A and B are shown apart, each in its own frame.
Chain A
Amino acid sequence: MTTITPQQAHPAQRTRSTSLTFGGVLRSEWIKLRSLRSTTWSYLIVVAISLGMALIMSLSMASGMGGGLDVGAAPADQQAQFLLQASVFGVYFGQLVAGVLGVLVISGEYSTGMIRSTLTAVPKRLPALAAKAVVLFVATFVVGLVANLAAFGVSSAVFAGHGVSASLADPAVILPLLGGALYLALVSVFALGVGTMLRSSAGGIAAVLGLILLLPTVLAMIPAEWAQDLVPYLLSSAGMNMFTSTTAGPSGDALGVWVNLLIVLGWVAASVAGAATLLKRRDA
């Protein structure tokens, strides 16, 4: 028990130097993100998938080149394309992990009741969602970039034996690597919005994975032209085209990098706007 100290100032009149700020909420969300095991595991898996896929892809591509085709003599931009294809292949799988993490960041708070602590500390609510989005975006972008650069290193090492090389200083090389990381970060923020709207881990993960994995397949199976026309506007289609269309050339994609980025941003904006509306309106 604390001893009673009557000379202490009346607590109601005591002045305090600290107050609620957005910087503080950002720091709080960063502490929350880094202090959970699910975060560490998710990011480790993103890096591991990138490295593993880059290794498998570059090995199989390199062995396919063995017969007659002398890639070492190919033009520099073609060499860069081979390398990039192998390096960013992991993003296709990494987006699933980024999506799951994005959902868990908020649904974990709903399932444990933590959300009530969060919203008591930040009663205006929207700064808490914004801080979560910013922290998740930055952390996922950095991890995605590290993963892509490391994957590029692995691919380079494999291809070097075949006389194929590319420079990171080449904008045609570094921009797709940055674009892949940007897409991962945007998927995680999109998933954060879905998780906020659905308030459930199972529901949120099912919705995000369904949208990324199932919807393109389902649309492709519908024998109608409108269904095929919709495919490029899906989150995962536009997202993958966002950083592979410049390199993978023959994908036949009519939309440019910027249009694809805008489509992805549209998905993210819709998700975050829906999340903000519901978070503000609902009882916690």
Chain B
Amino acid sequence: MITAEGLVKRYGAKTAVNDISFTVRPGQVTGFLGPNGAGKSTTMRMIVGLDRPTSGSVSVNGKPYAAHRAPLHEVGALLDAKAVHTGRTAYNHLLAMAATHGIGASRVREVIELTGLESVARKRVGGFSLGMGQRLGIAAAMLGDPSTLILDEPVNGLDPEGVLWVRQFVRHLASEGRTIFLSSHLMSEMALTADHLIVLGRGEIIADAPVADIIAGGTRPRVLVRSPQASQLADLLAAPEIAVIRSEAGALEVTGLAASGIGDLAAQNGLAIHELTPLSASLEEAYMALTADAVEYRTEAVR
């Protein structure tokens, strides 16, 4: 359980995080989504006390992170896959981290096995690929068997098999009742992994809701209609709040009127309908709609 209240972080004149409050609940995967530079990493660093908030506070399981007797048992954090000395072996890195809390070498071997690092554990971290670095970061986060897990861009640099592994892993941890807080700028990944989303843009919370609600709320419903009298139907549908796109011969994509309304209209006018399919919006569309005004660095569309 993570609770942030009125969290603000300024670096000089630049405001990275502007007065955000949120709660990350146990038993589900909470996604932390936002464009680059939105303040996701800064927020996560403030949770574990690496950055000091300019104002506001954040607590984990009821206390500030640093006030816990055994912080690594409360929170496991993967904040930066390269937060490891490159000259040390993976095993020694984990052993040193574990030693602070009196965690033994047997647990170190467990997390190495858990993350599939057996073959490289005795190699120095400097030679690790980004993907192996991510696995080592996850292994370090799991050392204390924490009830809360904070993962900043965990699938970054992982191969498809690794991405799938992280997805199943965090879903399993959430099912055990743990609090999982996961950041990503990949909407597709979030749609598959998260139950709840907190969307951040320019340091402010744009949305804080279950994934399904965000998808439903972020876009207007679209319906695919197939009819032999498509052009007649299109004329009947013409209204200021309804948009009709002729995608192919005999097919219409209607935005602004539900499937039932289209069916009723066709029946009243004696038009045949061959297909009437509500198109579910993707999280990506919802996300783009939400963050359209909040993107820090926008690129011109390719012409």
Contact = CB atoms under 8 A, between A and B. Distances in A.
Interface residues of A, number: 41
Interface in B67-105: 69-73, 77, 79-80, 82-89, 92-93, 95-103
Interface string A166-207: 000000000000000000000000000000000000000000
B252 interface: no
Interface in B49-79: 49-52, 61, 65-66, 69-73, 77, 79
A120 B71 contact: yes
B97 A28 contact: yes
A16 B100 CA distance: 14
A208 to B, nearest CB: 20
Nearest to A5: B176
Contacts of B72: 20, 120-121
A20 B92 contact: no
Interface in B1-58: 26, 45, 48-52
A18 B50 contact: no
Interface residues of B, number: 51
Contacts of A19: 69-70, 73, 101-102
Contacts of A10: 176-177
A119 B50 contact: yes
Given A12-B147, A32-B96, A112-B84, A120 B50 contact: yes
Nearest to B97: A121
Nearest to A109: B85
Given A20-B100, A114-B83, A117-B83, A284 B51 contact: yes
B50 A117 contact: no
B272 interface: no
A25 B50 contact: no
B139 to A, nearest CB: 12
Contacts of A12: 26, 61, 147, 177-178
A21 interface: yes
Q: Which has the most chain A C-beta neighbours within 10 Å: B26, B49, B51?
A: B49
B87 A116 contact: no
A153 interface: no
A2 B114 contact: yes
Contact of B99 (A11, A27, A37, A108): A27
Query: By CB atoms of chain B within 10 A, which of A2, A11, A14, A120 has the most?
Result: A120
Nearest to A284: B50
Contacts of B114: 2
Contacts of B280: none
B144 to A, nearest CB: 8
Interface stretch (B167-175, B260-268, B285-293): B167-175
Given A16-B70, A16-B145, A20-B69, 5 more contacts: A11-B145, A31-B92, A31-B96, A108-B85, A120-B48
Interface of B: 26, 45, 48-52, 61, 65-66, 69-73, 77, 79-80, 82-89, 92-93, 95-103, 114, 140, 144-147, 165, 168-169, 172, 175-178
6 contacts: A1-B165, A11-B176, A16-B73, A18-B70, A112-B85, A123-B71
Interface of A: 1-2, 4, 8, 10-12, 14, 16, 18-21, 23-25, 27-29, 31-32, 35-38, 108-109, 112-117, 119-124, 283-284
